[in-house]
Every structure is written in C-alpha cells, then in structure tokens.
Amino acid sequence: MSLLVVGSVAFDALESPYGKVDRTLGGAATYFSVAASFFTHVNLVAVVGDDFKSFFWAGKYSENLNERITLATELNVFADFKPRLPEKYRASKYVFLANIAPGLQHDVLKQVTKRPKIAALDTMNYWIERTNEDLRETLRHVDILMINDIETRQLSNEHNLLRAARHIFKMGPSTLVVKRGEYGAMMVDARGVFCVPAFPLEEPHDPTGAGDCFAGGFMGYLASAGNKSDGSLRRAMVYGSVLGSFCVEKFGLERLRTLKRNEIHARARHFAKLTQFKL
Ligand code: AMP
C-alpha cells in the first residue's frame, strides 16, 4: 500500500531537562516516515538545501516536559519550495500532510490523481495564526485532522473538545484525532468517541516528534491494514500511541533507530492490558 507524506525535514536544536543538542536531524516528515516505515513503504516529499541548509527549528521544554517554547523557526529552503510529485507517487492511496505551510499541503494533495482512501493533515499554531485562509481551504479536502488539544481549541474557538470536533467537521474533515500529550489521544467521528491513554513512562527524555510519530504509527498501520473500518481506526490509535511513546524515551530520533517490530507489537499488547476491564 502506498503512503505519501509531505512535510518538514529539518535541523532541530533541542533542549530539555535531560540534555541539549545543537543540530540534529528532525522535522515532522522525518519523524512520521521513520515511524510509519515499521508498517509500510513510505514515499517522502520534502526539500533540503544543497548544503542541507534546510528548515531549522529550535525548542526548549519546561522542567516537567509539558510545556515547550519555540526559540526559532527558519523556513530557509521551504520558503519557496514548489513540490512536484513523481509520477508513481500520484496514485497514493494514503496521504499524510505533515506540519508545513497549508498552501504546500494543498499543492501536494492536488497532484494526487485519484481521491485517496485517506488524506490526513497535521498543523500547528504557527500556521493557524499566519495562514488561516490557506489552512481552511486545504481542510476542505481532508478526511482526518490530527492535531493537539491546544491547536484544536485555537482552530475551532471552542474549549470543549467534543464541541470543537463538531465545529471542525463543518470545515471538511469527518474524523478528528486530538493528541493530548501525557493524557493520550482521542478520536471523534460520526460513530462516536474513542480514547487511548499515553503509555506510562517513568523517564521520558524529549517529547519532540511524538505527535509526528503518533501520526506515522497511525497512518502506517492504516495503510498496512488497507481499510478504514472502525476496528482498524481504533488499532491505528493504539499503534500511534505506541510509536509516540517510544519516540519520547530518548532524544530526537535516537530511540527509533534501534526499535524493533517485536517491541512495537509487545507494547501494543501492553496497551490492551492497560485498558482492559470487566463490568
Ligand atoms: P512535534 O514535536 O510533533 O510538534 O514535532 C516537532 C518537529 O516539527 C520538529 O522536528 C520540527 O523540526 C518540526 N517543526 C516545528 N515547527 C514547525 C513548523 N512551523 N513547520 C513545520 N515543521 C515544524
């Protein structure tokens, strides 16, 4: 099954109470691709400069890792990137528009020849504030919106997440997946609500990329399942949480480099145990 992603491939500077790195490979599309690659082949569309003078982002986390401030966002080569999809990417059935300028996300989607089985989109405050109209236009063509709770509230102007979902459905997407950090993730669609917890970890080190790894696990699983039944979407939520939880165990992409498929499946079984109960 073909999974296409467009988004940032970046140099990141990261700082958390557990350490600091100056320039490490990051970017939403990078995290997404690595996470999804455990389930399926991934086609990545992004840009890096000749000298890898790519997108640069710097962020710093608070003591409890729950808050993050952005210290720098430099678009560099992304500022005038005009993506042109290779012929064989145009028939992609699963498309993920990772966090990047909504205009670019739309450009890519328009080049996909047949309406994909699932087109999902992530975004963030940076784009909600600066390019709201482009974002609204792009959202009209998307099935799943996958953002965090703060972004959900910002985009919908609703504090309550269920009310926010109803508002967002009017913008285009029929499914909303809200990433809630250490509180897990929630999926809302016409069938109802499904929640997964975050995997309890004693020592998370760096939350960077957790949301993108969640999306990678989610879309990677769906592409490998080949359908969007309620059961598949629920399992996708669990595999998303599994990949997000591995990501935060170490800095940047470090943990994913050594991750094995059997560890992923073992943690998914652990999730089932975590949430199982009888009435
Ligand atoms: P997350 O922690 O899931 O929000 O993702 C962090 C990644 O997103 C980092 O590797 C950054 O390079 C990338 N990123 C941060 N800000 C932006 C932005 N405005 N556009 C695209 N990618 C971004």
What is the tens place of the pLDDT at every residue in 183-195?
999 999 999 999 9
pLDDT tens digits along 1-60: 589 999 999 999 999 999 999 999 999 999 999 999 999 999 999 998 776 688 999 999
Q: Is the CB of 177 under 6 A from ligand 1?
A: no
- Taking CA atoms only, the protein residue closest to ligand 1 atom 1 is 209
Q: CA 76, CA 23: separation in Å to the nearest integer?
A: 15
Within 13 A of 265's CA, how many CA atoms are on the CB side? 5
Residue 125 scores a pLDDT above 80: yes
pLDDT, one tens digit per residue, over 155-214 is 999 999 999 999 999 999 999 999 999 999 999 999 999 999 999 999 999 999 999 999
Distance 202 CA to ligand 1 centre (A): 25
Q: What is the pLDDT of residue 169?
A: 98
* CA 57 to ligand 1: nearest atom: 12
Alpha carbon 218 to its chain's center: 9
Return mean pLDDT, the chain. 95
The reported pLDDT for the residue numbered 49 is 77
Cα-based distances in Å from 240 to 35, 48, 209:
9, 27, 12
